[in-house]
């Protein structure tokens, strides 16, 4: 048989390598910016168009390349950063594989302009799909400009696989954040479609964080500092009360390189344990400096996953250092001269003894007694789910008493927060003949002809809200409640971008937006079910959901919006519902198009037939 093995031509090999190095425009941004950093640049400009699909340009003032180097840099395994295998263990540069430029040049139109300090004139090289088109001598400033156009022009399958410009832009922004945070002493400018996104002067780490994530971030940061023989930890964590629904602001850097480490992330979660609300994520910006010989950054081609020699020690140290910072912060709150005076303890309370809260038990309480519902839970609230119990608040409703005698068994404990009503529209007909019962603040039990139904209250409410919101979005007729004073919420630039994307849909459910600026969003109206104090939380949840998964078409966007709102606004397990709300929930659920599954495909209720019960008695 004839020999059949052949060496792949270079341009094919390069295309294959490109598949690993260049997944999407943001990978190009990462490689080019890292090269600029490695070249010692102190000023780096990033310019992109159409999510990087049409154009990505990185201009640096680094050391530049000679004519020969310029040409060589596009060869595979061409690198100035290592010479022998041992160098791998003492890496201080971002790159070392010598693959990036060869890969990029294989799948795009590339123009490089470069000049070193010592050379009088520079070099301009044009490459398309690994083929050098021109190389000329030109006048150029010191440094390098890399222009990458028409990414994946010769691999249509990959090009079609790219997401919308907005999504690709978001990936680029994430990459930009990581590199800009890892190098606060380098100045960065970022332009998108001709507009400037970031102008970051050279700065210290804290100021860099604040420049990127907005002015409000400053007050949230707590410094972290620890130096041992194994590692130097520095940076900031965010105060627990600012923990967010989204995981956006979590950054580890190892020797100035952004890394992902689920293991070390876990250490931080451990330190924050008990200090943050469930479902929220702490923010952190932490630098770990270790001996380059004790870290292996080689295990992943895109180099965000690393392996530390002594991960266990690092874990323990990180956890205790963060805990220590949190502790210090709790004990010695930072002096803040601009603190809102209203938040201070009122003078008359200052010297008061703190009393032990009393638990009052009603000894005459009889769970089997049918009681008339008290007025406190018969009067509907304006959509407030959890209403703190204030002494004498019932007086506010004097004269408004309604007596609903539905003969419904109802349990209520004096010390509990009772949702007076989870529904707004009390005028709707509630079938008072329905008998309901709430069990373990989780299930609503009601009878049907053939037996009984056990309904998961939270999932049922999710279903009801979901269908409602979806309807509102489709017919664009949501009722909005005007806020007396518009709220201004602050967000980071990338969060604002997401908000802009979903704004139109948010309006259809009842949000009314005022001005949207770089760091803030003005909200002047909210859907009727939304309480003002929850707006920030809801927005964060929405942004977080959209950050994690970006729906392609507008239907899925509406669907996701309705789901998020339903999830956030629904009654939760652990909330007591009065009988009015119980009955309303049951009726609303069974008026839904789909009743058996929640919007998240979870079972909403189970039925237990009389037969089932009788069988148990045999």
Residues within the interface to ligand ADP (CB under 6 A): 31, 35-36, 39, 60, 62-65, 73, 78-81, 95-101, 144
Q: How far is the CB of 149 from Mg ion (least distance, A)?
A: 19
C-beta closer to Mg ion: residue 107 or 318: 107
SS3 state at 77: coil
C-beta closer to ligand ADP: residue 105 or 487: 105
Among 403, 429, 472, CA closest to 583: 429
Q: How far is the CB of 33 from ligand ADP (least distance, A)?
A: 9
Which among ligand ADP, Mg ion, none contacts residue 563 (Cβ within 5 to 8 A by kind)? Answer: none
Which among Mg ion, ligand ADP, none contacts residue 36 (Cβ within 5 to 8 A by kind)? Answer: ligand ADP
C-beta closer to Mg ion: residue 100 or 566: 100
Which among Mg ion, ligand ADP, none contacts residue 98 (Cβ within 5 to 8 A by kind)? Answer: ligand ADP
Q: How far is the CB of 82 from ligand ADP (least distance, A)?
A: 8
* Shortest-Cβ-distance residue relative to Mg ion: 95
Calpha distance 153→157 (Å, rounded):
10
C-beta closer to Mg ion: residue 125 or 222: 125
C-beta closer to ligand ADP: residue 84 or 312: 84
C-beta closer to Mg ion: residue 100 or 444: 100
Q: How far is the CB of 39 from Mg ion (least distance, A)?
A: 10
Q: b/e map of 309-338 (b: 16 or more CB within 10 Å)?
A: eeeeebbebbbebbbebbeebeeeeeeeee
Is the CB of residue 39 less than 8 Å from the CB of residue 60?
yes
Q: How far is the CB of 259 from ligand ADP (least distance, A)?
A: 17
Calpha distance 339→219 (Å, rounded):
11
Q: How far is the CB of 84 from ligand ADP (least distance, A)?
A: 14
| Helix ranges, 139-257 (H) | 156-161, 165-182, 205-213
Which among Mg ion, ligand ADP, none contacts residue 73 (Cβ within 5 to 8 A by kind)? Answer: ligand ADP
Structure tokens at 557: 């966007």
Is the CB of residue 459 less than 8 Å from the CB of residue 442?
no
Q: How far is the CB of 70 from ligand ADP (least distance, A)?
A: 8
Which among Mg ion, ligand ADP, none contacts residue 17 (Cβ within 5 to 8 A by kind)? Answer: none
Which among Mg ion, ligand ADP, none contacts residue 124 (Cβ within 5 to 8 A by kind)? Answer: none
C-beta closer to ligand ADP: residue 88 or 489: 88
C-beta closer to ligand ADP: residue 63 or 463: 63
* Shortest-Cβ-distance residue relative to ligand ADP: 95
Is the CB of residue 598 less than 8 Å from the CB of residue 462?
yes
Which among Mg ion, ligand ADP, none contacts residue 62 (Cβ within 5 to 8 A by kind)? Answer: ligand ADP
Question: Strands 232-238, 520-527: parallel, antiparallel or unpaired by DSSP?
Answer: unpaired
Structure tokens at 210: 């604040």
Is the CB of residue 444 less than 8 Å from the CB of residue 457?
yes
Is the CB of residue 43 less than 8 Å from the CB of residue 187?
yes
C-beta closer to Mg ion: residue 27 or 238: 27
Distances (CA, A) of 227 to 133, 234, 237, 457, 561: 52, 8, 17, 51, 45
| Helix ranges, 23-99 (H) | 25-38, 67-72
Q: How far is the CB of 97 from Mg ion (least distance, A)?
A: 7
Is the CB of residue 491 less than 8 Å from the CB of residue 446?
no
Structure tokens at 49: 């168009």
Calpha distance 324→369 (Å, rounded):
53
Q: Which residues contact 41 (CB under 8 A, 6 or more apart)?
A: 60, 61, 62, 143, 186
Q: How far is the CB of 457 from Mg ion (least distance, A)?
A: 55
Structure tokens at 96: 């070392």
The residue whose two tokens read 């949702």 is 419
Which among Mg ion, ligand ADP, none contacts residue 79 (Cβ within 5 to 8 A by kind)? Answer: ligand ADP
Which among Mg ion, ligand ADP, none contacts residue 78 (Cβ within 5 to 8 A by kind)? Answer: ligand ADP
C-beta closer to ligand ADP: residue 63 or 319: 63
Q: How far is the CB of 140 from ligand ADP (least distance, A)?
A: 12
Which among Mg ion, ligand ADP, none contacts residue 51 (Cβ within 5 to 8 A by kind)? Answer: none
Q: Kindly tell me the sign of the dihedral angle through the C-alpha atoms of 446, 610, 574, 457.
A: negative
Site for Mg ion, rule CB under 5 A: 35, 95, 100
């Amino acid at each position: 048989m004839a020999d059949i093995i052949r060496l792949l031509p270079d341009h094919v090999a390069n295309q294959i390598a490109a598949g690993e190095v260049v997944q999407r425009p943001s990978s190009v941004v990462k490689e080019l910016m890292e090269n600029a950093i490695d070249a010692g640049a102190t000023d780096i400009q990033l310019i992109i168009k159409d999510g990087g699909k049409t154009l990505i340009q990185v201009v640096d003032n680094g050391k530049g390349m000679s004519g020969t180097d310029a040409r060589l840099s596009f060869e595979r395994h061409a690198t100035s950063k290592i010479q022998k295998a041992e160098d791998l263990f003492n890496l201080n540069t971002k790159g070392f594989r010598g693959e990036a430029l060869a890969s990029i040049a294989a799948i795009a139109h590339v123009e490089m302009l470069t000049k070193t300090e010592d050379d009088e004139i520079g070099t301009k090289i044009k490459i398309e799909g690994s083929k050098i088109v021109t190389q000329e001598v030109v006048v150029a400033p010191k440094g390098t400009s890399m222009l990458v156009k028409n990414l994946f022009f010769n691999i249509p399958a990959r090009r079609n696989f790219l997401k919308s410009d907005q999504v690709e832009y978001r990936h680029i922004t994430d990459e930009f954040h990581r590199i800009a945070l890892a190098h606060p002493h380098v100045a960065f400018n970022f332009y998108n479609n001709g507009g400037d996104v970031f102008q970051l002067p050279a700065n210290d780490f804290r100021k860099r964080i604040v420049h990127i994530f907005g002015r409000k971030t400053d007050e949230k940061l707590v410094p972290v500092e620890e130096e041992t023989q194994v590692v130097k930890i520095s940076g900031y964590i965010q105060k627990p009360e600012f923990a967010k629904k989204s995981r956006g602001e979590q950054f580890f850097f190892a020797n100035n390189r952004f890394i992902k480490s689920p293991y070390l992330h876990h250490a931080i979660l451990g330190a924050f344990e008990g200090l943050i609300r469930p479902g929220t994520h702490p923010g952190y910006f932490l630098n770990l400096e270790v001996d380059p010989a004790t870290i292996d950054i080689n295990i992943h081609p895109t180099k965000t996953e690393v392996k530390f020699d002594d991960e266990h020690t690092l874990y323990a140290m990180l956890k205790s250092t963060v805990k220590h910072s949190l502790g210090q912060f709790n004990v010695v709150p930072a002096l803040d001269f601009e603190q809102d005076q209203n938040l201070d303890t009122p003078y008359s309370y200052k010297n008061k003894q703190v009393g032990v809260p009393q638990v009052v038990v009603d000894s005459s309480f009889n769970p089997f007694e049918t009681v008339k519902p008290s007025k406190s839970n018969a009067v509907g609230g304006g959509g407030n789910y959890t209403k703190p119990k204030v002494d004498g608040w019932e007086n506010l409703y004097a004269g408004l008493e309604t007596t609903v005698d539905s003969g419904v068994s109802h349990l209520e404990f004096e010390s509990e927060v009772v949702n007076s009503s989870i529904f707004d529209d009390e005028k709707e007909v509630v079938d008072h003949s329905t008998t309901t019962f709430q069990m373990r603040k989780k299930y609503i039990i009601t009878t049907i002809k053939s037996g009984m139904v056990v309904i998961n209250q939270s999932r049922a409410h999710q279903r009801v809200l979901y269908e409602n919101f979806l309807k509102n979005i489709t017919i664009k007729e949501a009722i909005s409640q005007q806020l007396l004073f518009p709220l201004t919420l602050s967000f980071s630039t990338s969060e604002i971008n997401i908000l802009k994307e979903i704004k139109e849909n948010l309006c259809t459910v009842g949000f009314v937006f005022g001005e949207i600026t770089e760091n803030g969003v003005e909200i002047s109206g909210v859907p009727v079910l939304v309480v003002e104090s929850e707006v920030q939380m809801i927005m964060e949840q929405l942004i977080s959901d959209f950050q994690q998964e970006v729906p392609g078409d507008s239907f899925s966007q509406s669907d996701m919006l309705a789901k998020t709102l339903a999830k956030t606004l629904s009654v939760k397990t652990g909330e007591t519902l009065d009988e009015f709300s119980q009955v309303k929930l049951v009726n609303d659920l069974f008026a839904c198009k789909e009743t058996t599954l929640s919007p998240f495909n979870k079972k909403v209720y189970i039925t237990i037939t009389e037969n089932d019960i009788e069988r148990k008695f045999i």
